[in-house]
Each structure stands twice: as structure tokens, then as C-alpha cells.
Amino acid sequence: MVSNNSKRTVRRALVAGAIALGAVTVSAGPAMAEPINIPGVGTFDLPAGVTVPPEIANIVPPAPAPQAGSFTAPFSSVGQRAADAAQSKIGAPYVYGAAGPSSFDCSGLVQWAYKQAGLSVPRTSYEQASAGAPVDVAALQPGDVVSFYGGSHTGIYIGGGNIVHASTSSQPVKIAPLNSMPVDGARRF
């Protein structure tokens, strides 16, 4: 519902804009009000003798600005941002000891991805396997760091039963099924 104050403000703005454009004509005819309809706003009575050409009368006003606090930004966890960052490196070469941005080893990819998400994590796979909070494999969420082979290899869980990891030389950063290697544990940062 549009308030009377809003209607008056819109009417004044239209008349002032039309006058500024020279589009309003004033006649010396009888003192009768002329109604004007503005789509999405309402119908207004203009002062007697004021006319607005149809091309101005049919202007659709912009949508009202959102009220403060009505916008909710989509939530993205640190883990999800890390998973997204790691996935952005799919196809990057594996290089032992590399931590990005153009080549990676397994723990270097994890460390680099978390750095992109704004969090510092340890450098080696063994340190990553003991940092953060332990997570049951059945409760994995995107971004959880999964350890394999007794902690000698890490990857980032991306959902759907998959991880992204820098597996070994001759293999680029890639997505693999979580169960393609023996899982040692998982950590959440």
C-alpha cells in the first residue's frame, strides 16, 4: 500500500521533472483536476490545468530500494571457500614440496587453499592430520581435510563422496573418490 505522503512526493517529483523538461503545459481552462496513473505506484490528481504528455506519464518507476537488514548474503564457510579454491587448481601440476600458486604437492594444495579462504593451516600432511578438530568420516563437510596412508597424504573433501588432491608426480591436481585410498582420518579447520 502506498501512503499519501509517498503519492504526494511522487506527484511533486513528476510535475517538477516535467516542468524542468518543458513537457508540462498549463492551460487557462476550467479548474478541474486531471488524474494520472503511474504503473506500480498509483493514480494521482494533478492540479487543474497541468497536463503531462503520455511518454512521461507512462514511465515506470524503479523498484523500491530494499529496507536495511532485508538482504542476507549467502553463507560460505571457510571450509567451502577452501574446497572451492582447491578445485580452482584442478589440472595444476604436482611438484614435490610445492605450495602454489601454479604447482602443488598434497599438503601444499591444502595449505594454499585454506590460505585463500583466510585461514593458516600447517604445511605438512602429518601436521595437517593432527591439527584442527577431528571429524568422523561419516560426517564430512566440504573443506574437511582427509588424511590417507597413515597421514602421509592429504586432500580436501568437496562433497558427494569426493576429494580434490595433488596425488603424485605425473598426475595433476584432480578430483578422486574418497574411498579410492585408505582413509586414516579427517580434520575440520
The residues annotated with a catalytic role in the active site are 106, 153, 165
Rounded CA separation 162/153 (Å): 15
Q: What H or E segment, with its residue span, contains residue 166?
A: strand 162-166
Q: Are 14 and 24 in contact (CB under 8 A)?
A: no
- Residue 164 CA to residue 155 CA, distance in Å, equals 6
H helices of the chain, in order, are 4-21, 54-57, 78-87, 106-116, 125-130
